Amino acid sequence: MSTLAPDTRIACHECDLLLSRPEISGDQVVYCPRCGSRLISSHPNSVERSLALAIAGLILLLPANLFPVLSLEVLGRHQQQTIFSSAMALYEDSLPLVSLCILLFAILVPCTKFLLQAYLSLALHLRRRWPGLPLAMRALHHLDEWSMLEVYLISVLVSVVKLVDMAEVHPGLGLYSLGALILITALSSSQMDEDLFWHQIDDLSSPAEDAPSEGARHE
């Protein structure tokens, strides 16, 4: 379908100021002149970078979830902990809602985000019109603030400090993977040009009436 207004004008999502669309390229960001919010940002090879980061994230999710994050040693007895086991431990203490919070925010949402990002950027990279692209894009937009891996990492550090008096604490491979994963997450949210993604999805669904004015935004 062709869109009516979006190619010539944009509106600020925080103060509704109507602006003519600025032409940006390279690593440029447009801020709203009225309220200062971040309007659009462009990054070179945004699609390819997003794809690479999503694949790296999906790979790192495995060791981060499978290997122990911390292990504790008290009088020769060992106890290990993964992200999943910290959720399960609360489930066994009859706190299923709290357990669900950890399961969602530290495991399921980050996984879903990387899967959606990989699906979207692969489709756009190959220029294939795969089903559900707009839905995936919306889901990614809404899930953004509910991925809390970095909060989990700080929680691990706080736990270490609390336990250090009590017993010997050893960091596991999971902790290092978690650290790397957070770096990837931060990079992928800063490298993804949502505006460009929407335009390319638009182009895929209407190849015949491709708007010529958009030429400058293609890579």
Partner 1 sequence: MNNWRHSALAQGLIRCHDCGALWPLQQEHTHCPRCQAMLHARTPDSLKRTWALLLTATLLLLPANLLPIMRVTTLGQGEPSTIFGGVMQLAHHGLWGIAFVVLAASILIPVGKIIALCTLLLTIQRGWTTNMQQKMVMFRVVHWIGRWSMLDIFVVGILVALVQFGNLAYIDGQAGAIAFAGVVIFTMLAAGTLDTRLIWDRHLQENASGSEV
Which residues of this chain interact with partner 1, rule CB under 8 A? 1, 3-6, 9-11, 13-18, 33-37, 69-72, 74-75, 77, 79-81, 85-90, 93, 95, 97-99, 101-102, 105-106, 134-135, 137-138, 141-142, 145-146, 148, 151-152, 154-156, 158-159, 161-163, 165-166, 194-195, 198, 201-202
- Shortest Cβ 111–partner 1 spacing (Å): 17
Closer residue to partner 1, CB minimum distance, 29 or 89? 89
* Nearest to 105, CA basis, from 63, 145, 139: 145
Whether the Cβ atoms of residue 110 and residue 61 lie closer than 8 Å to each other: yes
- Shortest Cβ 200–partner 1 spacing (Å): 12
- Shortest Cβ 43–partner 1 spacing (Å): 17
Closer residue to partner 1, CB minimum distance, 95 or 126? 95
- Shortest Cβ 112–partner 1 spacing (Å): 16
Amino acid symbol at 64: A
> What are the distances in angstroms from CA 91 to CA 79, 83, 86, 156, 198?
18, 13, 9, 19, 40
Closer residue to partner 1, CB minimum distance, 154 or 186? 154
Closer residue to partner 1, CB minimum distance, 29 or 135? 135
- Shortest Cβ 102–partner 1 spacing (Å): 5
Cα–Cα dist 154/40, whole Å: 30
Helix (H) or strand (E) holding 208: none
Closer residue to partner 1, CB minimum distance, 52 or 177? 177
- Shortest Cβ 144–partner 1 spacing (Å): 10
Closer residue to partner 1, CB minimum distance, 55 or 108? 108
Q: Which two tokens stand for residue 118?
A: 């990989």
Whether the Cβ atoms of residue 163 and residue 169 lie closer than 8 Å to each other: yes
**Nearest-10 crossing angle of helices 194-205, 133-143:** 160
Q: How many residues does the chain have?
A: 219
3-class secondary structure, 45 = coil
Residue 129: count other Cβ atoms within 10 Å of its Cβ.
Answer: 12
